[in-house]
A and B are shown apart, each in its own frame.
Chain A
């Protein structure tokens, strides 16, 4: 038996801690790669399964929300009311500029009342909670202002100083169009607000297996694309912010790879 088995209490505690990581899926054996262009590593083989369908909503500023609500889509535009509900119920939120431009919407119509004036944009500024929408009854409330990413952004953390957001006069074109629409109440027949193309939606089916190593090039650079690539990108951001708390599916697998890459 190895002398490593000559153990004290601290040694046993460290080993038990590692055992817990093993139970969480962290690989216990790392294989050093043979060359810079040929990564052969058992940690890179890890994969994880998305337990439930995941929807990722990305806005024009690079913010992202992750959740499992549905968002109706028509001709490349998304139902504004669904967007707001999705944001309110999102499991995870990521601040401005989190998502690279290649994942963001290609364009963002200024949304000048394209639904018969029934505009449900985030038209309410802080000083005027009711905003100047005329059709509040058919619109969802503004999302809560105490969301975590809210405080993380801006020089002084004041929500009101964020560009293109709540500090505006209700005409924040990036979030649903002009809040000063005439709001004649006709809506689109169902009172559910308008449609917006200022977002992009990515979906990952339940039981999808993601193997992060598939998104690594031979020289160890990430090549993230598609919905799964975006998921990995957000998982990495989550890891940076919150660490490996186990709440985000796939974090342990991703962490093992990042640790491995750092060792190279």
Chain B
């Protein structure tokens, strides 16, 4: 399901049962059991995947909390970047919308 248009009532999660991770150095290869495709994540997108796997969140919560999760100042993690990062994971099917 696409991340946009979005609705603030929608909650999103990355379900570890739906993918297999394999780390090589700073890169993580994520094989999606759902789509059968493999995606290469860097440290930032991997962090987002882990962040989304913690528990379901709305996009607003995702945007508000990701900088702290990364342990960087908010100005280094603009909302547009978080939104796009989330969108990239959603686009390849690693993020799922779930019932609140």
Binding site for B on A (CB under 8 A): 1-2, 4-5, 7, 11-12, 14-16, 18-20, 22-23, 27-32, 34, 40, 42
Contact = CB atoms under 8 A, between A and B. Distances in A.
B68 interface: no
B46 to A, nearest CB: 6
Interface string B51-77: 000100000000000000011100011
Contact of A2 (B44, B50, B81, B89): B50
Given A4-B23, A22-B85, A23-B78, 6 more contacts: A1-B50, A7-B71, A19-B81, A22-B81, A29-B92, A31-B40
Contacts of A19: 44, 70, 72, 76-77, 81
A22 B91 CA distance: 16
22 contacts: A4-B23, A4-B46, A7-B71, A11-B43, A12-B71, A12-B72, A14-B43, A15-B43, A15-B47, A18-B42, A18-B44, A19-B70, A19-B72, A22-B44, A22-B81, A28-B44, A28-B45, A28-B88, A29-B39, A29-B41, A31-B40, A42-B39
A37 B3 CA distance: 28
B38 interface: yes
B26 A14 contact: yes
B2 interface: no
B50 A15 contact: no
State the 7 A-B residue pairs at the shortest beta-carbon distance, nearest first: A28-B45, A15-B43, A29-B88, A30-B40, A18-B44, A32-B38, A29-B45
Contacts of B92: 29, 31, 42
Interface of B: 21, 23, 26, 28, 37-48, 50, 54, 70-72, 76-78, 81, 84-85, 88-89, 91-92, 94
Contacts of A15: 43-44, 47, 70, 72
Contacts of A28: 41-42, 44-45, 48, 85, 88
A9 to B, nearest CB: 11
Nearest to B85: A28
Contacts of A34: 37
Contacts of B21: 2
A22 B38 CA distance: 20
Contacts of B44: 15, 18-19, 22, 28
A30 B26 CA distance: 14
A2 B46 CA distance: 9
A172 B78 CA distance: 54
A81 to B, nearest CB: 44
Given A1-B50, A12-B71, A14-B26, A32 B40 contact: yes
A30 B81 contact: no
B71 A4 contact: no
A18 B46 CA distance: 11
Contacts of B47: 4-5, 15
Q: Which of B37, B41, B42, B71 counts the most A-chain CB atoms under 10 A from its CB?
A: B42
A42 B45 CA distance: 13
A10 to B, nearest CB: 11
A110 to B, nearest CB: 54
B72 A27 contact: no
A16 B75 CA distance: 12
